[in-house]
Amino acid sequence: MTISVEEAYETAGMILFHNFDIRAVTLGVNLKDLAHPDHLRLAEACRRRLSDLGSRLVREAGEVSEALGLPIVNKRLSITPASWLIEPCPEERAPLYLAQALDQAASEAGVDFIGGFGALVHKAATRADQRLMESLPQALGQTSRLCGFLNLASTAAGMNLDAIARLGHILKDMAAAAPLGIACAKFVAFANAPEDNPFMAGAFHGAGEGDCALNVGISGPGVVRAVVAKHPDCDLTTLSDVIRRTVFKITRAGEMVGRELARRLGVSFGVVDISLAPTTMIGDSVGRILEAMGLERVGAPGTTAALALLIDAVKRGGAMASGHVGGLSGTFIPVSEDLAMIEAVECGALTLEKLEAMTAVCSVGLDMFAVPGDTPAHALAALIADELAIGMVGNKTTGVRVIPAPGLKAGQAVDFGGLLGRAPVMALNPFSGEKFIARGGRLPAPIGALRN
């Protein structure tokens, strides 16, 4: 892939003035060959492999970033779903030993996060899956870099309501397991989870992957906002084209970094995830893009349509630039990590119901939002079921990263600081879906799944 001088200058301008960066490089690592009945042997073997590979990732990413002049913000690892690794282990505490070893490996290597402490339970749960689920509060509450996930629904299999009902209680325990409910911020509940996602908290190295794969997550909401602001009066067709062309350039830069880093590591290049990922930095906001399109505030009438246009243009631009687009690829709309989203919630423009409607067209779902700490387990489960139903029926990925903020009520806020930002506590509908959740069982796959 050849990059012209003009493109190099343009990319430099994006970095200097609009917060463009490579948000994450994530090395996915297969650990299935390390599964062993001895939980201590398993944990130590995983620690050694990941510490070595992670150290190389951090070192080479630094050199690539310096050589190409492109900031690489986060270096991460993802692993084979952890429940598969503990299948042979009779020890009940095997998930906790493994969690500690994974967190230690991440610390030794200097990577920011390690993902994959999770299970695929969209149809049913094995005994190992159940043990891992029950370990989540302690595993994520007592570690600093470990992230977890559960895939609870898929278009092909339907939705596991028994697991979702249990997860409501587990989330309550997770919220109490560490200050500010931070353990919940390191966990995501998925429908149709992708196997090659470089973004946390949901990254894992899927069954269809090789021994190692290097996946790149680009960002650039500041860049997109800048070009949208330069076209305040054009029609929406033209605006879509402007965004598409911009994302094309961003994606080419991301693939260049990914291929070079994969070459240096001697691993396969996986995908470029073209998701626009906001941060709390001024100007680095997806919400500001939507407002630049003409919305007074995120959440105003027209927000879902504007978001749909944005995501379609992002995907068109990325697909034209690379044959290796994957992961989530679209737009993140986290509340706590985007200043425009925070402000919209605080001024009453954005409610939880409107946020859920937006997820019908976004690529991620209900992300990084807080609810009152006294929210009952059944309400959390019902909230998750609603969101995963959108993904299941829409044949797309959706997820939920919800924080029941300990001791806080609607209208207050929990401040995580750093990358995770500040989450205004959002009010829930006061009426109950407890009896619906208590029915349990499996929500059948939509008839549209029968496509053979």
Residue whose token pair is 């205004």: 424
Low-confidence ranges of the chain (pLDDT < 50): 1-3, 5, 8-9, 16-18
Residue 192 lies in a domain: no
Q: Residue 303: what residue type?
A: T
> How many angstroms separate the Cα of 106 from the Cα of each of 63, 185, 214?
19, 18, 16
Closest CA to 219 of 120, 93, 328: 328
- Residue 89 backbone class (left: φ over 0; alpha: ψ -120 to 50; beta: rest): beta
Q: Is residue 276 part of a domain?
A: yes
| Alpha-carbon gap, residue 160 to 443, rounded angstroms | 7
How many residues does this entry show for the chain? Answer: 452
CATH number at residue 369: 3.20.70.20
- Domain interval for residue 383: 214-437
Chain-centre distance for alpha carbon 382: 21
Is the CB of residue 254 less than 8 Å from the CB of residue 274?
yes
Dist CA 415 CA 424 (whole Å): 8
> Has residue 196 been placed in a domain?
no
C-alpha 9/C-alpha 2 separation (Å) is 14
285 alpha-carbon distance from chain centroid: 16
Strand ranges for 182-334 from DSSP E: 187-191, 212-218, 268-273
Residue 334 falls within a domain, yes or no? Answer: yes
Neighbours of 6 (CB within 10 A): 8
Q: Is residue 374 assigned to a domain?
A: yes
Domain count for the chain: 1
Report the distance separating Cα 329 and Cα 331, nearest Å: 7
Is residue 193 assigned to a domain?
A: no
DSSP conformation class of 447: G
Q: What is the pLDDT of residue 365?
A: 87
133: in domain: no
pTM for the full model?
Answer: 0.91
DSSP state for residue 142 in the 8-state scheme: S
pLDDT digits (tens, 9 = 90+) for 369-409: 999 999 999 999 999 999 999 999 999 999 999 999 999 99
